[in-house]
Structure 1
Amino acid sequence: MKTSTTLAALALACAGNVAAFWRMPCRSTTGIARIDPLVSPNDVADHAHIVFGGGNFALNTTFDGLARCTNPEHDCTSCEVTQDKSAYWTPPIYFQHENGTVEMVPNVGGMLAYYLFYLDNVQPFPEGFAMIAGNPSYRNFTGPQPDEELSKWPTYPSDQFFLQQRAIGFNCLNYAKDPEASLYRHQFPKKDDMDANCLDGIRMEMAFPSCGNGELDSPDHRSHVAYPSLVKEGNCPDGYDHHYPFLFFETIYATQNFAGMPGQFLISTGDPVGTSYHADFIMGWESSDFLAKAINTCTSDTGLISDCPLFNIQDDSKAAQCTFPTPDAFEKEDCEGPMDSLPVGVPIQYGPEPATKYPVQGAWGVKTSSLPKTSTPATFTHPSLGYSPVNPASTSTAQGGIIVAYESSSSSAAPAVTSAPAYAPPADHEVTTTYITKGHEVIEMVIEETEVTVTASPSAPPGYAHKHKRHLEKHAKRHNNH
């Protein structure tokens, strides 16, 4: 019989039926500030955000302000495709030293925003659309770690809390080892584990809901959208029959810079657990019609924006010039540090109960005063979830993002593996090229697909068999990140 095996190859998770996607590089930030036009319009946000995308990001950002900006200085984007002036923002990571001093962990390489098309009949985000994924008040992950096999997940997505918690990923990066899969763990690893294993930092991951009820937004910026039953794919809840692109953020932080130092990592929300990680999105593409055309036209399975003839691509140096106008209230505010507390005066709340509201320094009607520092409670511990390479066929780690797929066969017996051919491969083999970020470089990877035939009895569950063997060739060709 004919079966398949997947050798170590750089690829998107193969468990879904996605055939086309693109990966939007936004390698420069437009700014870091306590601004959140969705949650705190025209006011100071209660925690800092790192922002990418459209240059006209502001306290009251809208689709028109981003996509149809009339100020030439801010009519720009920090992403590589000039037609995309969407706003993408997340809370950054900080490190609190033993003496209480706090500083932002350096961001590496900006961010990647994936547009994947797992659901049927995907339609573009409409003009005026906005949403938030995650919840800044969460301080506890309630599920088993690692996640149960996908086959044990509910087939109907009635428990959105269950899915929301599994839409966050903390990927331990070590380029000398086989990579972990996306969304493998859902909160910070232990500091000692990070020091020992995450030698190239932490990749923060956030998956957005892709089922919608047709509304542009909702009061909480969440209830107009929902996750399908497997986070990235599956069944949408009743009433959520609008299928949008699966949006997936990846942001890398150089946590390895703090290896061996006593202290703790924090989300800017005052969260040492990590479960408050979240992400915001305001649609800012040139138009909904243009995005629809891109979805229907840009059908390459490489993920490279250069494979889409519609996209106008700018170089990184031009993108890096795009910054948002800093409001006067934030002109002297330092969100990077070192400083005495999280910006500004955000208290640390350990949970497991949800975080409580606190006075926001600088907000309307709030007196500016320092909040007390919080010491680590003796009972607080991070989960012990060791470094683990990807197994996309069996768990929710097969959610998206760049991962390495390992040997996985529909046979119970291990098939013979042929050695990787020297580059260049024969012309009749399918070849794709993709990239992985390493430090300030992007490494080009060439993948050759061929079929392998073995004789064995099938054992993998239906729908998760991989159809090709992929040979990996790492080129010496490297691309500067900035």
Structure 2
Amino acid sequence: MAPTLLSITTLLSLSVIHAVASSVWTLNCAPLLQARLDPIKQPGVWPSSHVHAVVGSTAFAQHMIGVSSGKATTCDKATDHSNYWSPTLYHMRSDGQYDLLPFTGMVAYYQNYTCSHSSMNPGYCPSTPRDAQAFPPGLRMLAGDSDRRTLNKTDQWQQAILLESGNNGEVYGMPPRLDGSRISGHVRFPSCWDGKNLDSPDHKSHMAYPDPVLHGDTQGGMCPLSHPVALLNIGAEFGWSLNGITDPGSLVFANGDTTGYGFHADFFMGWENPTALQDSFANCMTNDNCPWRKFGSPTGMDPNPISQTPDVLPPLENIGLSGPVGKLPGNNAVFKGHSKRYARGV
């Protein structure tokens, strides 16, 4: 028997009643530029130490103070005028030159998995709702360490950095095999804040990961007493096309890192409406059926990431966009050591 109008209405009502808020949704960002700029570690400086692959606000430049702004964003959430960047990737050719690999952009998973420190019930976050806050305006932070070439799996800052070729699983360090199509660098930004500082001299000390003693890890859990304020968690994946490359030993990041352990990423807060960002999790039913996907879309339809031109173009430098270069920009030395590679969790 065909359902009546009443029964359809009843079913729809029940589906809304039993829907649950989503704890994660995705952000997709097209490339903005690749350049030797780093407004967090080397503000006001050009050129910075190595080439970065950048997505997000068109305001990205060597001079960025306070809250990021910009005429547009490369991200599919129109009100996200944040910037995200990581070292870009080169292929070492047999003739001693370097090919800049095509940067494909970034996908990020915004997650409400962290809760603030509680002395009343230490170690156990309520399943819902978590009390993670949106990022305070002007927050800057980074994940990873550009100088690292080894792995200490007990260090959360190192646990938060992984790489993956194709869909073959995340690993610590450069993947032992490449599928020839794609490679991505994954970072989990810290989600616990000291509640006071928007930055710190090392760009890390004002942030922390959830306390592993209190059942936390790099993806969520209870914050430590030293950094008691829970913020939303960002897991970001920066991608490159491999153009048929299958030898992991021929890859080097712009900072000279061949191990993959020195991969890192930066975040400069620029969400135009932090309150709406925080409310987005309560208003989403699932990641695929979420009003937030259309937030700020001029047409009301699901938006797409769009490449943009920076508001202020950086000075010209040959970083390999039009052909191979004879050395890494900045003359960064290529690390020649060998490091054992570990699958995630091994």
Q: Which TM class, normalised by the smaller chain length?
A: 0.7 to 0.9
2:125 equivalent in structure 1? none
1:209 equivalent in structure 2? 190
How many corresponding residue pairs?
301
**Equivalent of 1:289 in 275, 295, 300:** 275
Q: Secondary structure of 1:30's match?
A: strand
1:85 equivalent in structure 2? 81
**Is residue 2:149 matched to residue 1:139?**
yes
Q: Is the 8 A contact 1:139 1:273 kept in 2?
A: yes
1:419 equivalent in structure 2? none
1:275 equivalent in structure 2? 261
Distance 1:274 1:23, change over 3 A: same
1:45 equivalent in structure 2? 48
- Determine what percentage of the aligned residue pairs are the same residue: 28
Q: Deviations over 1:167-212 (max 9, x none)?
A: 11111215xxxx52xxx3110023xx32xxx243222111100011
User: What is the CA-CA distance between 1:347 and the residue it aligns to?
Assistant: 1.4
Q: Secondary structure of 2:222's match?
A: coil
Structure 1: 5+ residue stretches without partners: 1-17, 70-74, 144-158, 350-375, 387-394, 398-482
2:139 equivalent in structure 1? 129
**Is residue 2:222 matched to residue 1:221?**
no
Q: For residues 30 and 324 of structure 1, what CA distance do their matches in structure 2 show?
A: 11
**Equivalent of 2:174 in 168, 171, 188:** 188
Letter matched to residue 276 of structure 1: G
Letter matched to residue 172 of structure 1: S
1:312 equivalent in structure 2? 297
- Structure 2 counterparts to residues 20-59 of structure 1, below 5 A: 20-26=23-29, 28-43=30-45, 44-59=47-62
Q: For residues 258 and 332 of structure 1, what CA distance do their matches in structure 2 show?
A: 26
2:340 equivalent in structure 1? 383
Q: For residues 227 and 307 of structure 2, what CA distance do their matches in structure 1 show?
A: 38
Distance 1:312 1:221, change over 3 A: same
2:100 equivalent in structure 1? 104
Q: For residues 237 and 298 of structure 2, what CA distance do their matches in structure 1 show?
A: 20
1:95 equivalent in structure 2? 91
Q: Is the 8 A contact 2:44 2:62 kept in 1?
A: yes
- Name which of structure 1's ranges 46-55 and 239-248 shifts more when overlaid on structure 2: 239-248
**Is residue 2:306 matched to residue 1:333?**
no
- TM-score of the aligned structures, taking structure 2 as reference length: 0.79
Q: Deviations over 1:247-291 (max 9, x none)?
A: 01112222252236x962111111111111001001101133332
Q: For residues 184 and 256 of structure 2, what CA distance do their matches in structure 1 show?
A: 19
Q: For residues 294 and 52 of structure 2, what CA distance do their matches in structure 1 show?
A: 33
- Name which of structure 1's ranges 340-349 and 40-49 shifts more when overlaid on structure 2: 340-349
Distance 1:303 1:210, change over 3 A: farther
1:115 equivalent in structure 2? 110
Q: For residues 95 and 290 of structure 2, what CA distance do their matches in structure 1 show?
A: 45
Q: For residues 348 and 304 of structure 1, what CA distance do their matches in structure 2 show?
A: 46
Q: For residues 103 and 278 of structure 1, what CA distance do their matches in structure 2 show?
A: 21
RMSD across aligned C-alpha pairs, in angstroms?
Answer: 2.6
Structure 2: 5+ residue stretches without partners: 1-20, 115-129
Q: Is the 8 A contact 1:305 1:311 kept in 2?
A: no
